[in-house]
Structure 1
Amino acid sequence: MPSGAKCNKGVCECNDGYTYVRGRCRLLNGLGNSCQTDIDCHFGYDRQSVMCKNKICECADGYYNRHGNICRRKSMAINDTCVVNTDCDELGSNVKCVNLVCASTSTNGDFPRNQREIAVQTSLESYELKPLNNFKRDISIENPASSTATGRITRDEEDKTLSTLSNTDDDVDEKKYGSSCTDNGNPCPGLAHSTCADNVCFCNQGYYAKNGKCFAELGEIAESVDECEFEFEEATKKCLCQKNYFYERSLRSCRKPIQYHLSCTSNSQCSPFGAVFCHPSIPRRCTCEEYAEYDEPSQLCVYKQGLGAQCETNDSCPIENSICSSEHVCKCKQNYIEDNGACAKGVGAECIDDSECLPTNTVCESTTESKSEKSKACQCRKGYVHFKDECLKQAVEPEDECVETEQCKPLLANCVDKKCVCGDKQHFSGGKCVDQKSLGEACTRAGECHLEKDPENIECRNSICQCKIGYQPSTTQRTCTHVGPKKNSSGRPSALKIITFMLIGSAFLITSAALKQAFY
């Protein structure tokens, strides 16, 4: 596998920090760094945007530095294509980029429509890119100073690019990509930009095979428009993207420009807007990196300063009580809360006085039994619970209002529809939610046994939920009914009761007679 490349899900791609160009993954130098040729310079998403001048990487003629290592083409006429307002700066302060063309605002003093107003969601299908029709542009007409002789090109010594341009038709037995050949190390007859290797015709680096031919990658030399899938520039004999379009990393396709907040399909389309990427989730839009924020006047996602700024170490974060997180972003350290660009004391932070604690319903209290000043920290007041950066009122009874389940935890309940409620198989007993056990189920304490109707008639006896003494379960096992005195089937007094009443009456008569005899 070539240096600087890796295999990702069956596809070869360049490692982070490497850029694919001329068949290889290369480490390119940014603007202001040294170079030997143009190919040494990082070109972003436009190979024509940079040049090696006096052995230093610079923006090419007709381009300006938009941000970082991104150079944007200058728009040179009204109605010329653009993406951001600064593309039109050469045309005067009253010219802005409106609907992707430079337009004068001097007549009505404002844009026809603000970019944010036209930021409507469109389907991804509408942004599918199709190959452009072959288009031949003679830039010598647009820029006479850049025209050169268009005679035979044999070798570009600067970029070491081989070419097989020929003014004769001496080639015989024309070859195609993959055809057999015998002259190893030399071009295959009739197949431009090819080399015979191991007796097989291959495309040179910077060229790719399609339909048996070798097509030039974007930015490479071609003999004619027939060897370019996109635009062919006559003066330089190079395959290019249409003006204002973006070069994809493969250098084999182009992406059309978009406005900020419109749907994107590639990071290249978002490159004019600074520290930004094309968000992979629908709706796909250009989105600022976590450490950047969008600045409307400059139409750039600019690096944040202080909290939220990109960092490498804690020393990179100047805000007091801030640290460099694992995501390489400056954040408040544990127990501290962001407040107006500073890190204020939250629950758990050491304190001396209540006024130091930022969240409402907090006090500065000792965290140990020693009550020493050094052990004081911001804590939630009694009757409040800590959740994230807040102190929320603690629930006392079922149906109390809540925002988070944390408020209902003292009741062992959950916050549902902004009220503390017990679970489906629970009931409220003894000041909290407990598991609900029915008749006949095992239990460990009385509060577990529960009936929907007359719950006071059930108890935990002998580790089993049973009806209380004097009650019996219904046939459905859902209620306990009271057991009353039994009667005989006829409804008349039984013989036992009659005998009992007679004995009682006899005893009463005997006792009365004895008392009478004793007194008289």
Structure 2
Amino acid sequence: MENKYYFVLFALLCNTSRVISLWTCLSDQDCTSLSGSICNSGACVCPPGQQAVRGGRECVDISPYLDSPCVEDHQCSRLFTGYHCLSSDSNTTGVCSCQEGYHYFYGRCWKSRDFGDSCTRSEECLGIIRDPFSLTCNGVCQCAEGYIERQRGECRKVTLAPGGGCVLEQDCQFPDASCNQETFTCFDITTVENDTDTESLKFDTSIKMAANNKMAANNKMAANNEMAATRTVCDSSLPCPNPFECSPFGVCVCPLGYYESPNAQTCYADLGSPSTEEQCVGLLAEVIDGVCSCRPNFFYDDNMRDCIRVTRRIQESCVSDVNCHTFGATARCGPPKDPWGIRNCECIPETSVWDENRQICRLFAGIGESCEVDSDCLAGALEIRCVTNDEGEGFCACPEDLNEVDGLCLTSGLELGEPCQSTLECTAANNTVCNGVCSCAEGYQAVDGFCAPTIGGSCTLDTDCVIENTVCVNTTSGDTCQCNQNFVEYNDVCWPAIPGFNASCSVTAQCASVLGVGGVCADDRCTCMDNYHYRDGGCWPITGLFERCERSSQCYLEGSQDKVVCRNSFCECDFQYPYSPELGTCLSSKASAVSACAALIMTTILMLIR
């Protein structure tokens, strides 16, 4: 009979014309559990160009590009690594972005490596100056060909012939060179025809910039309205038109290094990608040698679509620090100024000084580096002097009463509390370190102008240990100051040891040393903390009947602790105190006998009634 029921159940499950599986559908109306999905070949799936989010409860547009709208991180996986869906706390949607410490280039996020850092690919190399082509990887990130190191890891492109790009005079590196800052072009000042050429270039450049401003607006619109774009459906039998490629979500998307136009019918080029004039539409971007690029020594936006306007003079207005990096990484966009709130470029005064000749916020010169006046020189936090050599060239040097050590000018003999640059200066007392001022090293404390060991600090003799009731003891860490016998350490003080439970105390450490971790000093008496109980000379976690245990001391029965023991890793009643299911406790021998007698009487009464 039982086999017959199994056969009927099997027949019902197999009869798909009448029974609809939980995971299948007959129409779109059956797909309510996945919002926005459709019924395709008997299964609920997202439409082409969409993917499931929020635990498979909703279909949303795919996010194939940087700045694509998104809901969850996994939608941005086309960025390969170091990506996330960046959103504010108040928004449920965000945009695909690279995580902090990563940058976008050639269609994906790369771990950022600065000048001098180890690297495996040139795409990883990007410093504060936003020009991804300024660095190349040769085991470490270094200046690329055509770039020079202007100062301490700042690489800047130079032009070696007339007609090349520039922003500053120093960018043009050939005889009789000058930079036309209206056209951003190097020219030979001895060439008479230059005036006509530069005017023509100025006109062409202004036309290009005006056109790019308009195209940039379209570019921003493409990013902001991407979810509304209607992408072309594709599959193995319906390929995408060039240059699109078919995505795993059944719609055409642009290849890596490109992004869609607002109507999703054209692929625009990222900066650095091969491009036609029509594809290179970012702000101030232009096609150079067949590649969508920024002009030499212009800077690249994080989105690698737009170029950032550069300042040509230190006093020019700015919007962000990047505008000012024409003058080096230590140039910044200063605070708004009255009355109009206009901001101007300036050097960061704590780290650099303006060099008019080099048109750069020059980092303070260190020992041995060139200088003109004393204020150019800085060694650590100390202003040092500028001296001249036999050729009349200035260089930074330490004052005569200081010694040069690892780029710093150091003195010696500093006492505790005196300002310092290095531990080497704190020599008036032993066991000192420099923390802005000379201080005692870890394991030591200041006592009358010298550093004495704290409890646990190194010592040689008992007299080295100045804390009351400490002696010098040989331990596994060597000879260290420890509390004497019958004392307990707490906060670098040795407290008298106590005999045990309910003894007078001052700090919990006194109780814990005797009663264990459950011991606590409360109301000046040693007791057990909450959820612990006192037994066998210590405080143990309360462990009830039939709970796991390791020793009998853990087992607790209110008012009758001697009745419970740890047996077979569980707290149970001792054999002489049987367990009463009715009372839920361990009975005494006398109570057990009474209970047995009562049970016998009740059994006899029940038999007589029947």
TM-score, with length taken from structure 1: 0.41
TM-score (norm 2): 0.36
> Relative CO higher for 1 or 2, CA cutoff 8 Å, sep ≥ 6?
1
